[in-house]
Amino acid sequence: MKCPFCGTDDTQVIDSRVNDEGDSIRRRRKCGACDKRFTTYETAELHLPQVVKQNGTREEFKREKLRVSFTRALHKRPVPTEYVDKALDHVTQKILARGEREVHARDLGEMVMHELKMMDKVAYIRFASVYRSFSDVDDFNDVIRDLDVQAVAPKRRTTDT
């Protein structure tokens, strides 16, 4: 690490600490040439994949764009912001876990729908209606019927006999 004061490469770490959130390391350094001290921070650099849109174009993954999708679907719904943040984290982690350089917009949309379905059924239907381009009332009825079936379906249990 170069000294920001004199530019020499002769620096040494004299103290390292993990920050409170646990996502970066703070290092106190001392220059061997000018004896001045300075602080550096080390964080993980994550490369999120490109999003491949339906028309074949590619764009950078933007967490803020996902947040807007959630916010629109959840407009005037009683869902805390923390839930949206957790859902965004889930989607981002799923994308990173794939380890791929590209993710299709359709896959991203399905991940958003899954998170919304667990958060708020009305928001899920709102998002689905736009995402799946509902053309008439029957499309809404089909989604509502599927939600009702899932809510009523008995949970399967495994028993030792």
pLDDT digits (tens, 9 = 90+) for 67-100: 999 999 999 999 999 999 999 999 999 999 888 9
**C-alpha angle 110-68-120 in degrees, rounded to nearest 5:** 55
Query: What are the 10-residue block averages of pLDDT along the chain, 161 residues in total?
Result: 94 92 90 96 84 93 92 92 93 91 93 91 86 73 72 50 44
Q: How many CB atoms lie within 10 A of CB 103?
A: 19
| pLDDT of the residue at 50 | 93
Side-chain half-sphere CA neighbours of 4 within 13 A: 6
Could you give the CA distance from residue 116 to residue 139 in angstroms, rounded to a whole number? 18
What pTM, to 2 d.p., does this model score? 0.60
